């Protein structure tokens, strides 16, 4: 069977992320109204430079936009918030760890949604530590 196995495509990872998102609690999803979830193979060079990444495999996902707590009704029209999942770094991480691909995609998606909610990486690490 392994001789015919292939890495999931962009469309397959996107379908997985969509299915994971749909299983999140309704209230959680409601707060994500208008957020666009995209899957790409790698971050752009601009993103890598901005995030000071050493390698194109350093980022599994990215939130771009203005987090909910930082929005104002007086803001001028802006681009929608976006969550990026990066397929190749996710697959690389999956190959090196003992987690299922679905669990990794779920973790990255929820982590980036956390940024949409205005949480920092440190905030989310503390929440995860408390949950464990």
> Does residue 37 belong to any structural domain of this protein?
yes
- State how far Cα 8 lies from the chain centre: 17
Q: Which helix (H) or strand (E) holds 29?
A: helix 26-30
pLDDT digits (tens, 9 = 90+) for 12-45: 999 999 999 999 999 889 989 999 999 999 999 9
122 or 75, higher pLDDT: 122
Which pair of structure tokens corresponds to residue 83?
A: 């969550």
> Does residue 3 belong to any structural domain of this protein?
no
**Number of domains making up the chain:** 1
- Check if the beta carbon of residue 68 is closer than 8 Å to that of residue 27: no
Please give the model's pTM, rounded to 2 decimal places.
0.89
> Does residue 122 belong to any structural domain of this protein?
yes
For residue 98, the tally of other CB atoms under 10 A from its CB is 5
pLDDT for residue 68: 73
Rounded Cα gap, residues 49 and 33, in angstroms: 29
> Does residue 14 belong to any structural domain of this protein?
yes
Minimum mean pLDDT range among 14-18, 41-45, 68-72, 96-100: 68-72
Indicate the SS3 state at residue 73.
coil
Q: How far is CA 56 from CA 23, 36, 52, 65, in A?
A: 30, 22, 10, 21
* Domain span including residue 13: 9-69+78-131
Rounded Cα gap, residues 60 and 91, in angstroms: 9
Give yes or no for residue 75 having a pLDDT over 80.
no
> Does residue 1 belong to any structural domain of this protein?
no
> Does residue 23 belong to any structural domain of this protein?
yes
CATH number at residue 124: 3.30.2010.20
> Does residue 2 belong to any structural domain of this protein?
no
> Does residue 102 belong to any structural domain of this protein?
yes
């Amino acid at each position: 069977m392994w001789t015919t196995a292939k890495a999931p495509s962009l469309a397959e990872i996107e379908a997985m992320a969509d299915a994971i998102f749909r299983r999140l609690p309704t209230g959680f999803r409601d707060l994500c109204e208008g957020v666009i979830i995209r899957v790409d193979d790698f971050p752009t060079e601009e993103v890598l430079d901005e995030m000071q990444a050493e390698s194109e495999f350093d980022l599994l996902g990215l939130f771009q936009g203005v987090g909910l707590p930082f929005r104002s009704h007086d803001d001028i029209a802006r681009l929608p918030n976006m969550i990026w999942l990066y397929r190749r770094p996710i697959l690389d991480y999956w190959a090196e760890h003992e987690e299922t691909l679905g669990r990794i995609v779920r973790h990255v998606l929820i982590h980036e949604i956390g940024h949409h909610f205005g949480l920092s990486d440190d905030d989310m690490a503390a929440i995860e530590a408390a949950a464990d």
